[in-house]
Amino acid sequence: MMIDKLFCNFAAILRENSDCKHKMKRLFWAFLATMLILSACTGNRQTTEDVTADSTGVADTVVTDTLEELIAETPMPSAADELFDDFIFNFAASKTVQLQRIQFPLPVIKGETQELVQKNAWTVDHFFMQQGYYTLIFDNEKQKELCNDTSINHVVVEKIYLNKKFIRQYDFQREKGLWMLKQVRLTDIEHSPNTSFLTFYHEFASDSLFQAQSLNTTVDFVGPDPDDDFAQMQGVITPETWPAFAPELPTDMIYNIIYGNERSEGNQKVFVIRGIANGFEVELTFKLSGGKWRLMKMVT
Protein backbone atom coordinates (compact mmCIF):
# COMPACT_ATOMS: atom_id res chain seq x y z
CA MET A 1 0.00 0.00 0.00
CA MET A 2 2.84 2.39 0.74
CA ILE A 3 4.27 1.83 -2.75
CA ASP A 4 0.82 2.55 -4.24
CA LYS A 5 0.65 5.86 -2.36
CA LEU A 6 4.20 6.83 -3.34
CA PHE A 7 3.45 5.95 -6.95
CA CYS A 8 0.31 8.12 -6.99
CA ASN A 9 2.15 11.03 -5.36
CA PHE A 10 4.99 10.84 -7.87
CA ALA A 11 2.56 10.62 -10.79
CA ALA A 12 0.82 13.75 -9.50
CA ILE A 13 4.13 15.59 -9.42
CA LEU A 14 4.71 14.63 -13.05
CA ARG A 15 1.32 15.98 -14.08
CA GLU A 16 1.84 19.25 -12.24
CA ASN A 17 5.30 19.80 -13.72
CA SER A 18 4.60 19.38 -17.42
CA ASP A 19 7.41 21.78 -18.37
CA CYS A 20 10.02 19.37 -17.07
CA LYS A 21 8.16 16.22 -18.11
CA HIS A 22 11.08 14.52 -19.87
CA LYS A 23 13.57 15.03 -17.05
CA MET A 24 11.00 13.93 -14.50
CA LYS A 25 10.09 10.87 -16.55
CA ARG A 26 13.57 9.40 -16.11
CA LEU A 27 13.33 9.95 -12.37
CA PHE A 28 9.90 8.31 -12.43
CA TRP A 29 11.22 5.11 -14.05
CA ALA A 30 14.18 4.96 -11.68
CA PHE A 31 11.88 5.50 -8.68
CA LEU A 32 9.37 2.91 -9.83
CA ALA A 33 11.97 0.27 -10.65
CA THR A 34 13.62 0.71 -7.25
CA MET A 35 10.32 0.45 -5.37
CA LEU A 36 9.29 -2.67 -7.27
CA ILE A 37 12.59 -4.44 -6.63
CA LEU A 38 12.54 -3.55 -2.94
CA SER A 39 8.96 -4.72 -2.64
CA ALA A 40 9.67 -8.03 -4.39
CA CYS A 41 12.72 -8.78 -2.25
CA THR A 42 10.94 -7.88 1.01
CA GLY A 43 7.77 -9.75 0.13
CA ASN A 44 9.64 -12.95 -0.69
CA ARG A 45 11.79 -12.68 2.47
CA GLN A 46 14.87 -13.94 0.62
CA THR A 47 18.14 -14.43 2.40
CA THR A 48 21.18 -12.38 1.48
CA GLU A 49 22.66 -15.40 -0.30
CA ASP A 50 19.48 -15.91 -2.36
CA VAL A 51 19.35 -12.28 -3.45
CA THR A 52 23.04 -12.23 -4.40
CA ALA A 53 22.81 -15.44 -6.38
CA ASP A 54 20.02 -14.37 -8.72
CA SER A 55 19.62 -10.62 -8.19
CA THR A 56 20.18 -9.60 -11.82
CA GLY A 57 17.74 -12.05 -13.37
CA VAL A 58 15.07 -11.57 -10.71
CA ALA A 59 15.33 -7.76 -10.83
CA ASP A 60 14.93 -7.66 -14.61
CA THR A 61 11.98 -10.07 -14.55
CA VAL A 62 10.23 -8.41 -11.62
CA VAL A 63 10.54 -4.91 -13.07
CA THR A 64 9.40 -5.91 -16.57
CA ASP A 65 6.52 -8.13 -15.44
CA THR A 66 5.23 -5.72 -12.81
CA LEU A 67 5.50 -2.73 -15.14
CA GLU A 68 3.47 -4.63 -17.72
CA GLU A 69 0.81 -5.51 -15.16
CA LEU A 70 0.70 -1.94 -13.86
CA ILE A 71 0.37 -0.33 -17.29
CA ALA A 72 -2.05 -3.00 -18.52
CA GLU A 73 -4.38 -2.29 -15.60
CA THR A 74 -4.17 1.48 -16.09
CA PRO A 75 -5.64 2.96 -19.29
CA MET A 76 -2.99 4.76 -21.30
CA PRO A 77 -3.55 8.51 -20.86
CA SER A 78 -4.45 10.42 -24.01
CA ALA A 79 -1.45 12.68 -23.40
CA ALA A 80 0.83 9.71 -24.19
CA ASP A 81 -0.13 10.07 -27.86
CA GLU A 82 1.16 13.65 -28.03
CA LEU A 83 4.82 12.64 -28.04
CA PHE A 84 5.97 9.38 -29.58
CA ASP A 85 8.55 8.85 -26.80
CA ASP A 86 5.75 8.78 -24.22
CA PHE A 87 3.73 6.37 -26.33
CA ILE A 88 6.56 3.91 -27.05
CA PHE A 89 7.29 3.42 -23.33
CA ASN A 90 3.66 2.36 -22.80
CA PHE A 91 3.71 0.26 -25.97
CA ALA A 92 6.94 -1.53 -25.05
CA ALA A 93 5.86 -2.27 -21.49
CA SER A 94 2.37 -3.64 -22.10
CA LYS A 95 1.03 -6.53 -24.15
CA THR A 96 -2.45 -5.06 -23.75
CA VAL A 97 -1.40 -1.77 -25.32
CA GLN A 98 0.34 -3.61 -28.16
CA LEU A 99 -2.76 -5.62 -29.02
CA GLN A 100 -4.78 -2.39 -29.03
CA ARG A 101 -2.30 -0.35 -31.05
CA ILE A 102 -1.27 -2.79 -33.81
CA GLN A 103 -3.22 -2.83 -37.04
CA PHE A 104 -4.00 -6.52 -37.54
CA PRO A 105 -3.41 -8.43 -39.67
CA LEU A 106 0.04 -6.83 -39.47
CA PRO A 107 2.06 -6.87 -42.72
CA VAL A 108 5.63 -8.12 -42.22
CA ILE A 109 7.53 -7.32 -45.40
CA LYS A 110 10.84 -8.83 -46.51
CA GLY A 111 11.96 -7.97 -50.02
CA GLU A 112 9.20 -8.93 -52.41
CA THR A 113 7.42 -11.20 -49.93
CA GLN A 114 4.81 -10.28 -47.35
CA GLU A 115 3.39 -12.21 -44.41
CA LEU A 116 0.28 -11.18 -42.50
CA VAL A 117 0.51 -11.71 -38.74
CA GLN A 118 -2.83 -12.28 -37.05
CA LYS A 119 -3.66 -10.92 -33.59
CA ASN A 120 -3.60 -14.37 -31.95
CA ALA A 121 -0.10 -15.02 -33.36
CA TRP A 122 1.50 -11.81 -32.08
CA THR A 123 4.31 -12.21 -29.54
CA VAL A 124 4.78 -9.29 -27.15
CA ASP A 125 7.95 -7.30 -27.89
CA HIS A 126 9.39 -5.35 -24.95
CA PHE A 127 11.90 -3.63 -27.24
CA PHE A 128 14.61 -1.95 -25.11
CA MET A 129 12.83 -2.16 -21.74
CA GLN A 130 14.70 -5.21 -20.46
CA GLN A 131 18.18 -3.91 -21.33
CA GLY A 132 17.55 -0.58 -19.61
CA TYR A 133 18.81 1.72 -22.39
CA TYR A 134 18.29 2.54 -26.03
CA THR A 135 20.34 4.19 -28.76
CA LEU A 136 19.63 6.91 -31.31
CA ILE A 137 21.42 8.06 -34.47
CA PHE A 138 21.02 11.65 -35.64
CA ASP A 139 22.57 13.51 -38.56
CA ASN A 140 23.17 16.64 -36.46
CA GLU A 141 22.43 18.27 -33.12
CA LYS A 142 19.34 20.10 -34.38
CA GLN A 143 17.72 16.82 -35.39
CA LYS A 144 17.58 15.81 -31.71
CA GLU A 145 14.83 18.39 -31.22
CA LEU A 146 12.46 16.20 -33.25
CA CYS A 147 11.99 14.01 -30.16
CA ASN A 148 9.85 16.83 -28.69
CA ASP A 149 7.95 17.71 -31.87
CA THR A 150 4.24 17.03 -31.30
CA SER A 151 3.41 17.60 -34.98
CA ILE A 152 5.22 14.44 -36.16
CA ASN A 153 2.83 11.71 -37.30
CA HIS A 154 5.25 9.11 -38.66
CA VAL A 155 8.04 7.35 -36.74
CA VAL A 156 10.12 4.27 -37.52
CA VAL A 157 11.74 2.28 -34.71
CA GLU A 158 14.73 0.27 -35.94
CA LYS A 159 16.25 -2.82 -34.37
CA ILE A 160 19.69 -2.98 -35.97
CA TYR A 161 21.36 -6.39 -35.76
CA LEU A 162 25.00 -5.53 -36.38
CA ASN A 163 26.37 -9.08 -36.34
CA LYS A 164 23.63 -10.43 -38.60
CA LYS A 165 23.72 -7.30 -40.77
CA PHE A 166 19.99 -6.72 -41.02
CA ILE A 167 17.41 -4.27 -39.68
CA ARG A 168 13.86 -4.80 -38.42
CA GLN A 169 11.85 -1.62 -38.91
CA TYR A 170 8.62 -0.95 -37.02
CA ASP A 171 6.52 1.60 -38.90
CA PHE A 172 4.27 3.69 -36.62
CA GLN A 173 1.77 6.27 -37.82
CA ARG A 174 -0.53 8.55 -35.85
CA GLU A 175 -4.07 8.48 -37.15
CA LYS A 176 -6.93 10.43 -35.57
CA GLY A 177 -4.61 11.27 -32.69
CA LEU A 178 -3.60 7.65 -31.94
CA TRP A 179 -0.23 6.01 -32.62
CA MET A 180 -0.58 2.66 -34.41
CA LEU A 181 1.95 0.08 -35.60
CA LYS A 182 1.10 -0.29 -39.30
CA GLN A 183 3.76 -2.66 -40.63
CA VAL A 184 7.14 -4.28 -40.03
CA ARG A 185 9.89 -4.34 -42.65
CA LEU A 186 13.01 -6.51 -42.73
CA THR A 187 15.94 -5.16 -44.70
CA ASP A 188 19.70 -5.63 -45.03
CA ILE A 189 22.00 -3.05 -43.48
CA GLU A 190 23.47 -2.37 -46.91
CA HIS A 191 20.15 -0.83 -47.95
CA SER A 192 20.12 1.63 -45.06
CA PRO A 193 21.10 5.29 -45.58
CA ASN A 194 23.33 4.73 -42.53
CA THR A 195 25.24 1.82 -44.12
CA SER A 196 28.66 3.47 -43.99
CA PHE A 197 28.31 4.61 -40.40
CA LEU A 198 26.79 1.35 -39.13
CA THR A 199 29.61 -0.67 -40.69
CA PHE A 200 32.13 1.66 -39.07
CA TYR A 201 30.36 1.73 -35.72
CA HIS A 202 30.28 -2.07 -35.46
CA GLU A 203 34.07 -2.23 -35.78
CA PHE A 204 34.55 0.83 -33.57
CA ALA A 205 32.52 -0.75 -30.76
CA SER A 206 34.05 -4.23 -31.15
CA ASP A 207 37.75 -3.54 -31.72
CA SER A 208 39.67 -1.42 -29.18
CA LEU A 209 42.65 -1.00 -31.52
CA PHE A 210 40.43 0.21 -34.37
CA GLN A 211 38.65 2.47 -31.87
CA ALA A 212 41.93 4.14 -30.85
CA GLN A 213 42.84 4.62 -34.51
CA SER A 214 39.46 6.25 -35.22
CA LEU A 215 39.82 9.13 -32.77
CA ASN A 216 40.43 12.67 -33.91
CA THR A 217 43.76 14.15 -32.85
CA THR A 218 41.87 15.60 -29.91
CA VAL A 219 38.32 14.69 -28.91
CA ASP A 220 36.27 17.48 -27.36
CA PHE A 221 34.80 16.43 -24.03
CA VAL A 222 31.89 17.85 -22.03
CA GLY A 223 30.88 16.20 -18.76
CA PRO A 224 29.69 16.82 -15.21
CA ASP A 225 31.98 18.77 -12.93
CA PRO A 226 32.93 16.49 -10.00
CA ASP A 227 33.23 19.58 -7.78
CA ASP A 228 29.85 21.07 -8.69
CA ASP A 229 26.69 19.00 -9.21
CA PHE A 230 25.07 21.79 -11.24
CA ALA A 231 27.97 22.58 -13.58
CA GLN A 232 29.75 20.97 -16.48
CA MET A 233 33.41 20.86 -17.36
CA GLN A 234 34.98 21.02 -20.81
CA GLY A 235 38.27 19.72 -22.07
CA VAL A 236 39.89 17.48 -24.64
CA ILE A 237 40.69 13.78 -24.75
CA THR A 238 43.80 12.56 -26.54
CA PRO A 239 44.33 9.03 -27.90
CA GLU A 240 46.66 8.39 -24.95
CA THR A 241 43.99 9.28 -22.36
CA TRP A 242 41.06 7.76 -24.23
CA PRO A 243 41.04 4.40 -22.34
CA ALA A 244 40.15 6.28 -19.15
CA PHE A 245 37.10 7.88 -20.79
CA ALA A 246 35.96 5.24 -23.30
CA PRO A 247 32.31 4.26 -22.66
CA GLU A 248 31.04 0.71 -22.95
CA LEU A 249 29.30 0.42 -26.32
CA PRO A 250 26.73 -2.15 -27.49
CA THR A 251 28.24 -4.40 -30.14
CA ASP A 252 25.48 -6.78 -31.26
CA MET A 253 22.12 -5.03 -31.53
CA ILE A 254 21.30 -1.33 -31.30
CA TYR A 255 18.14 0.73 -31.71
CA ASN A 256 17.39 3.82 -33.72
CA ILE A 257 14.26 5.95 -33.86
CA ILE A 258 13.57 7.93 -37.02
CA TYR A 259 11.24 10.82 -36.31
CA GLY A 260 9.49 12.07 -39.43
CA ASN A 261 11.42 11.97 -42.67
CA GLU A 262 14.03 9.36 -43.59
CA ARG A 263 17.61 10.31 -42.70
CA SER A 264 20.43 10.85 -45.19
CA GLU A 265 23.87 9.25 -45.28
CA GLY A 266 25.62 12.57 -44.61
CA ASN A 267 29.13 13.14 -43.26
CA GLN A 268 28.19 13.50 -39.59
CA LYS A 269 26.43 11.26 -37.07
CA VAL A 270 25.46 11.89 -33.46
CA PHE A 271 25.23 8.53 -31.66
CA VAL A 272 23.32 8.67 -28.37
CA ILE A 273 23.11 6.01 -25.64
CA ARG A 274 20.22 6.90 -23.32
CA GLY A 275 19.42 5.08 -20.08
CA ILE A 276 15.78 4.41 -19.21
CA ALA A 277 15.82 4.21 -15.42
CA ASN A 278 19.09 5.85 -14.37
CA GLY A 279 19.43 9.17 -16.21
CA PHE A 280 22.60 7.92 -17.91
CA GLU A 281 23.37 9.42 -21.32
CA VAL A 282 26.41 9.49 -23.60
CA GLU A 283 26.55 11.40 -26.87
CA LEU A 284 29.27 10.67 -29.43
CA THR A 285 29.72 12.88 -32.50
CA PHE A 286 31.45 11.36 -35.53
CA LYS A 287 32.48 12.99 -38.80
CA LEU A 288 33.39 11.46 -42.14
CA SER A 289 36.50 12.96 -43.74
CA GLY A 290 38.64 11.49 -46.48
CA GLY A 291 36.51 8.35 -46.49
CA LYS A 292 37.15 7.66 -42.78
CA TRP A 293 34.87 8.20 -39.80
CA ARG A 294 36.43 9.79 -36.72
CA LEU A 295 35.17 10.53 -33.23
CA MET A 296 35.18 14.30 -32.73
CA LYS A 297 33.27 14.91 -29.50
CA MET A 298 31.88 13.14 -26.44
CA VAL A 299 29.26 14.54 -24.06
CA THR A 300 28.26 12.71 -20.87
pLDDT of residue 32: 44
Contact between 281 and 300 under an 8 Å Cβ cutoff? The reply is yes
17: number of Cβ within 10 Å: 11
**pTM over 0.85, yes/no:** no
pLDDT at 74: 67
CB 15 within 8 A of CB 25: no
The per-residue pLDDT for 17 is 41
> How far, in Å, CA of 254 to CA of 137, rounded?
10
Q: Which residues of 257-294 are buried (b: 16+ CB within 10 A; e: fewer)?
A: bbbeeebeeeebbbbbbbebbeeeebbbbbebeeeebb
How many Cα neighbours within 13 Å face the side chain of 56? Answer: 3
Report which residue type is found at 154.
H
pLDDT tens for the chain, 300 residues: list them: 333 333 343 344 344 344 444 444 444 444 444 444 333 343 443 433 333 333 334 444 455 455 556 655 667 777 899 999 999 999 998 999 999 999 999 999 999 999 999 999 999 999 998 888 999 999 999 999 999 999 999 999 999 999 999 999 999 999 999 999 999 999 999 999 999 999 999 999 999 999 999 999 999 999 988 778 788 899 999 999 999 999 999 999 999 999 997 777 889 999 999 998 778 899 999 999 999 999 999 999
Q: What pLDDT score was predicted for residue 230?
A: 84
